């Protein structure tokens, strides 16, 4: 710090205003701490402004368009369906503004001071903030780092915002591109690829791995792949994008499909090969901190770094890059700072993919459970036998329950089907509470609802499922 610059003393500084940072700031303020939240962009972070929320809004709009096209299947006659992306974008931005405005109001109501600027650590208890009108300095008792992540850029396919897009640019398109190539068949690529296919694009997805959505059990992804084919989406696995040429207003991409070269021509290329933690320009070394080989800051179960004054949460800390994980860590960090006996002791963190149909998982897969030495019993119930799923014309998929064969304790729940994102919440609670398959199937679930699929899958673990033929085991 330059001699003469005066640092304001504050109890807690939070750097980053995303779902980890703003939650941490609010919780710390609720616990009586004086809090300053520093963010260089919009409150709400990537999640509210350029990720989770706008993408789900776009996915919903695309789903409505697709439902309208197929309404005739259930006797509802609809004329031609037109998509006005300008109006879709206006509606989407309205949703974003409501949520970010809500975050701003909550911070203000809890007495959190918000500073807009770029923050850099200067020491283990000081931070400098570069603002539009000059510098501001803070001396803190504790600091919570929550700077999030950004899309990974392939060196041979640099983002240009016109032909080669990150998810950020794709979510801002005001016209539906006639053709789109998606590089990366993970959750972001398939969510957005599916949405643009429903909006009218001819979509091709290329993925280096052996199957789509690597990290999920292949049995969960088969239904999604089948529906992609119905939408006319071509999926190429074991395929790498090598180079491109822009010619005649199109981008011509050379890919390697299992050893054979092929050219794919598209109007837009969407690159979704992962995200990278934002840790490079934080001044970590000046606070005695560093990152591991993958760019993450190592933390303990209390979200504390090796510097006892500084905590790291969300996408820059080890673990899955999920908004709900970041929010939980924000609460833990704030409560630890306030002297509470808090830590990240969750049994499992659920994950969701908003494809068609949705995929949601929590806990161990069957193979993971066996690798850990469990003898397991697996229960499964198809949505094709669920009354509510059939009344909404969404009978694809299933609910699968993995349980310890000896005790019946739930080890994992995996769902592919309608509203899987909502259904997984009950499963997460069941795992957190140490529930058995018996506990779930003996719990009366309302009818007709999709939640019955979880009850029936748990009953299948016990061999007593009523609404499906008895399976050979």
Q: Do 36 and 14 form a contact (C-beta atoms < 8 A)?
A: yes
**Sequence-separated (6 or more) residues with CB below 8 Å from residue 21:** 14, 15, 37, 39, 45, 144, 146, 147, 313, 314, 330
Between the CA of residue 125 and those of 13, 33, 128, 147, 314, what are the distances in Å?
A: 10, 16, 11, 18, 21
CA distance 198 to 233: 10
Query: Which position among 324, 441, 447, 467 bears the catalytic label?
Result: 447
Residue indicated by tokens 């149909």: 357
CA distance 438 to 461: 8
The Cβ-side half-sphere exposure at 468, using a 13 Å CA radius, reads 26
Tokens standing for residue 107 = 């911070």
Tokens standing for residue 137 = 């300095």
Burial 396-425 (b: 16+ CB within 10 A, else e): bbbbbbbbbeeebbbbbbbbbbbbbbebbe
Helix (H, G, I), strand (E, B) or coil at 274: coil
Tokens standing for residue 368 = 């993971």
Closest-CA residue to 305 (of 315, 318, 323): 318
Q: Do 114 and 39 form a contact (C-beta atoms < 8 A)?
A: yes
CA distance 187 to 212: 9
447 annotated active-site: yes
Count the residues in the chain: 473
CA distance 90 to 59: 15
Burial 217-233 (b: 16+ CB within 10 A, else e): beebbebbbebbeebeb
The set of catalytic residues is 447
């Amino acid at each position: 710090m330059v001699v003469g610059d005066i640092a304001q003393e504050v109890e807690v500084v939070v750097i980053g205003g995303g779902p980890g940072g703003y939650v941490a700031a609010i919780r710390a303020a609720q616990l009586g701490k004086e809090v300053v939240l520093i963010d260089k962009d919009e409150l709400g972070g990537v999640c509210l402004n350029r990720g989770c929320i706008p993408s789900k809004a776009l996915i919903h709009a695309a789903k409505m368009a697709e439902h309208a096209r197929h309404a005739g299947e259930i006797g509802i006659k609809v004329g031609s369906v037109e998509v006005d992306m300008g109006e879709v974008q206006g509606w989407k931005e309205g949703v974003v503004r409501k949520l970010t405005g809500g975050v701003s109001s909550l911070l203000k109501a809890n007495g959190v001071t918000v500073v807009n600027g770029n923050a850099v650590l200067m020491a283990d208890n000081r931070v400098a903030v570069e603002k539009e009108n000059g510098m501001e300095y803070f001396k803190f008792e504790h600091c919570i780092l929550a700077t999030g992540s950004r899309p990974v850029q392939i060196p041979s396919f640099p983002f240009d915002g016109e032909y080669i897009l990150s998810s950020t640019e794709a979510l801002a398109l005001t016209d539906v591109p006639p053709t789109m190539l998606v590089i990366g068949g993970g959750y972001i690529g398939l969510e957005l690829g599916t949405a643009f296919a429903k909006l009218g694009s001819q979509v091709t997805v290329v993925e280096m791995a052996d199957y789509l959505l690597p990290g999920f059990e292949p049995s969960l992804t088969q239904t999604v792949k089948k529906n992609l084919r119905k939408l006319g989406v071509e999926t190429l696995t074991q395929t790498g994008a090598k180079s491109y040429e822009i010619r005649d207003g199109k981008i011509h991409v050379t890919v390697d499909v299992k050893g054979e070269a092929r050219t794919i021509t598209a109007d837009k290329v969407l690159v979704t090969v992962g995200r990278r933690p934002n840790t490079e320009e934080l001044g970590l070394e000046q606070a005695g901190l560093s990152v591991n080989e993958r760019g993450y800051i190592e933390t303990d179960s209390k979200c504390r770094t090796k510097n006892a004054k500084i905590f790291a949460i969300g996408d820059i800390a080890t673990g899955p890059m999920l908004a709900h994980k970041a929010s939980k860590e924000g609460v833990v960090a704030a409560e630890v700072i306030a002297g509470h006996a808090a830590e990240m002791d969750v049994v499992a963190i659920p994950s969701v993919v908003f494809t068609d149909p949705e995929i949601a998982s929590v806990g161990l897969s069957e193979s993971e459970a066996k690798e850990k030495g469990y003898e397991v019993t697996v229960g499964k119930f198809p949505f094709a036998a669920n009354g509510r799923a059939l009344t909404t014309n969404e009978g694809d998929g299933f609910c699968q329950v993995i349980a310890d064969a000896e005790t019946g304790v739930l080890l994992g729940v995996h769902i592919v089907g309608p509203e899987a994102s909502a259904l997984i919440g009950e499963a997460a609670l069941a795992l957190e509470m140490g529930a058995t398959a018996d506990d779930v199937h003996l719990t009366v679930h309302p009818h007709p609802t999709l939640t019955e699929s979880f009850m029936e899958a748990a009953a299948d673990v016990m061999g007593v499922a009523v609404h499906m033929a008895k399976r050979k085991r």
